[in-house]
Amino acid sequence: MTVHPRGVNHLAIATRDIKAQIEFFTDVLGCELKALYWMHGVEGAWHAFLELNPTSYIAFVQHPENPGRTEWGLTHASSPTSPVAAGAMQHVAFDVAGVEVLLTLRDRIRSRGIMALGPVDHGFCQSVYFGGPEGMVLEITAGEAIDDRAWIDPEVVALAGIDEAELARYRQPADYVRPPQALPQPALDRAKPHINFPDDIYAFLATASDEQLRELLSDTEPPVKVED
């Protein structure tokens, strides 16, 4: 059995106006607000979660130091095909259960005075495109599982510098068996992907146990006490 993530639990997007984002995702897209609280361990920041399904959310982080400048082609893509800085969100597509739901949601978006383009037929999915608050480029899509035999283009594979052995590995990643004992943290190698913490933070992370980090960073108390 190959172990891999089964979906996106939440996509966290920075905001300067969390109320506007909540208004948009509840009214325009019909998502329910499920959480809005002080972000754990971050002074002055708020965190919001809007439900796509019970295990998948669009989330927002309002931080007092979030910059408010939009620079097309750098901080934001202006359309679903426009350039943007590497590592930034180009656009996000939300899955819906079939074309009828897609069309209903398209018309809901239009009913709120927002242009919604589509559906566009991409072969393996049907998509509708529209804009969100603070320059977001958004998509809703209905589709089936992608047939890799038809949708991996040999020309693009070659242009990307992918050889036959690499392609075979990408199409069927190796299984991984978890060892009996948890692996220790590797030494920091800034040539590899890493979170941009200062060196003194990494010095602590390299020596702290998983149990110590869990104890230090966990915060399980909700802001409101719920009586069953």
Q: Which of 97, 118, 145 is the last residue of a domain?
A: 145
Does 39 score more than 70 pLDDT?
A: yes
Number of domains in the chain: 2
Average pLDDT score over the chain? 93
Does 8 score more than 80 pLDDT?
A: yes
Residue 192 included in any domain: no
Residue 181 included in any domain: no
By the 8 A CB rule, do 119 and 127 touch? Answer: yes
Residue 213 included in any domain: no
Q: Which of 108, 130, 145 is the last residue of a domain?
A: 145
Residue 226 included in any domain: no
> What is the per-residue pLDDT across 153-198, written as a single tens digit (0 to 9) for each?
999 999 999 999 999 999 998 898 999 998 888 888 889 888 888 9
| Domain match, 106 and 57 both | no
C-alpha distances out from residue 104 to 112, 124, 174, 183, 217, Å = 13, 20, 41, 48, 42
| Domain match, 22 and 61 both | yes
Q: What is the mean pLDDT of residues 135-149?
A: 95
CATH of the domain at 98: 3.10.180.10
Residue recorded with tokens 């915060």: 219
Return the pLDDT at 1. Answer: 60
Residue 17 included in any domain: yes
Nearest-5° Cα angle at 57, 56 to 60: 155
Query: Measured between alpha carbons, how far is 12 from 42 in angstroms, rounded to an integer?
Result: 15
Residue 55 included in any domain: yes
Query: Measured between alpha carbons, how far is 103 from 95 in angstroms, rounded to an integer?
Result: 13
| Domain match, 103 and 138 both | yes
C-alpha distances out from residue 153 to 45, 82, 160, Å = 44, 21, 11
Smallest Cα–Cα separation from 55: which of 7, 4, 98, 97? 7
Q: What is the mean pLDDT of residues 193-217?
A: 89
Return the pLDDT at 206. Answer: 82
Of residues 202 and 115, more confidently modeled: 115
Does 4 score more than 90 pLDDT?
A: no
Does 140 score more than 70 pLDDT?
A: yes
Residue 171 included in any domain: no
> What is the per-residue pLDDT across 53-111, written as a single tens digit (0 to 9) for each?
999 999 999 999 999 899 999 999 999 999 999 999 999 999 999 999 999 999 999 99
Residue 175 included in any domain: no
| Domain match, 12 and 61 both | yes
Return the pLDDT at 185. Answer: 86
Which residues constitute the domain of residue 18? 8-66
